[in-house]
Structure 1
Amino acid sequence: MKVLYFGSLLLVIGRILAEDVESEQSFEISEECQAELKKYEDCLSNFNMESENGNNMMESKESIQKFCTTIESNDCKAFLADISKAETPCINSASPNPVDLMMGMAILSLKISHSLVCAKGNDGNICPLGKYLQDHTSELVNDNDSEENAEVTLNSEQLQALANDCSDSKCNARMLSMFDFFASIENMFPTTDENPSISSVDSSEIIGGISSYISYYKEKKCSAISNSESSSGGTNSSDTSNTPSGSNTPSGSNTPSGSNPQSGSNSPTTPSDEDSGVSFTFKRITYSFIAMVLFSSIFLI
């Protein structure tokens, strides 16, 4: 199983714990964080390593669907009510507590996982990106290490999933909200000369990649993702690009900076730099999702 970012997250936590030992700070969880965990107790108990959900959340499409069903059940009613909140009392940058941070990370991880694979669009169905991740779980999780450093390109199905996800207004909004979660995680570990923090474990590339990816959503240039005039299958499209009718190539003024538009095809055969960036980020998001689920299940024991 691909656990690149799971390992990275553990390295970050390990560094914080090591620094805490040196400063002789307490490992006790704060009262504020305890209160939040108590609030979500019925829900979080479904996702520890002793539970069925905790042991196989990423094994198959069925296990992910079970994860979605569980997190949307009555047990998780309080958790679901706060699903879009990136703030948690367990994460206090002014007075960081390593135990609190681990609990906060686990909570945010579950929220990110729900946003990626469980969130629904305007038609009441799973958002296109989430559906693609569900349908292709096995091949994405078992992707070879050797492929990660190779040149990555997306096929037409993957590009269309991204474009459709961007075009659905509810799915678009959930992705923009999800970016706040990643920003919160990044802010947990400030980078200094003495403490390289997340940059030393490559997590900054996740944030940077997602920032690039999110720009398509923010600027509502969804058709530029698939290099087509419009994204078929998206509902209530929020794409406002002014691509000339009949053209398969997005207008240069509406294509994100750095893109080299292509013509003559609805799916790229020779990806531009921007296409490669989207492809790279797609894999980053996938691996981040896997890591987040694993991270949650371990620290919610």
Structure 2
Amino acid sequence: MKQEEVSSEDNISTVKHFVLLGFSDLSNLQGFLSGVFSIVYIIILLGNCLIIVITRVDAALQKPMYFFLANFSSLEICYVSVIVPRILFNIWTQDRSISVLCCATQLCFFLIFGTTECLLLAVMSYDRYVAICNPLHYPLVMNPTKCTQLAVASWLGGIPVQIGQTYQIFSLHFCHSNQIEHFFCDIPPILKLACGDTSGHELSVYVVVVLVAAFPFILVLASYSKIIATILRLPTAKGRAKAFSTCSSHLLVVVLFYGSASITYLRPKSTHSAGTDKVLSLFYTIVTPMFNPVIYSLRNKDVIAALRKLILKA
């Protein structure tokens, strides 16, 4: 492991490289962790690729709901690929050093894809809102052009904001230590290494979180309040069960993602602990993407039927 590398300029020590400590404290479990993360990564890739394939080739899934689901699966692959390969590289080589530029790049892509996930979850909830609350207008409102525009806006919407936030964070001076108590470059552990008062930067993080995460979450809550109210007014229990089944999977993913991410980013820096941050981060960076294909497939009859047809054709 590389030791701290600093240069002195105007009496301020500035770190040139970081060290991702990751799971280095579990020295006896490195082989086990390597196996676990490798298997999880393969499951995520295969599961999400399978959803992308069946939503493209099955005629019954050529609907806006599954168009957004394919986008979501593509996003999960990108999102996880920013994190897991670096974890595996660190474990396999035992070289945990990462340049400031590489760290900034990882953080930037992580934040961009995280923002895309927030926006895409909001778009998917809007799709369910229109389908359940305004079914007669659904084909008109959620036409192919509109779906494409919403998907593109979700993918591109967070880029300028997160590039700006990454630049702001890495314009700080980092001193005293270059060891990041985390398995990837994330905002809370990086801010811990900054010299001086970082309250202004913490405030900017909260503002960005409100902009790119809290606001979409409010849209999700508003959509589901309308959806639930509409479902409860349906005359038959069978109709209520069918309507709820079309959005329950999405709602479960929203709870898993937002629950762990919000606790991580909305706590004051003084209350952060390395162990807690790692566990919470594992949920929204790795665990949730791994379970998403299972959640969407096992709770969706159309996806199960499409999967059976694909297997029978093989």
Q: Pick the TM interval, shorter chain.
A: 0.3 to 0.5
The structure with more radius of gyration: 2
* Structure with the larger helix share: 2
Structure (1 or 2) with the greater strand fraction: 2
TM-score, normalised relative to structure 2: 0.34
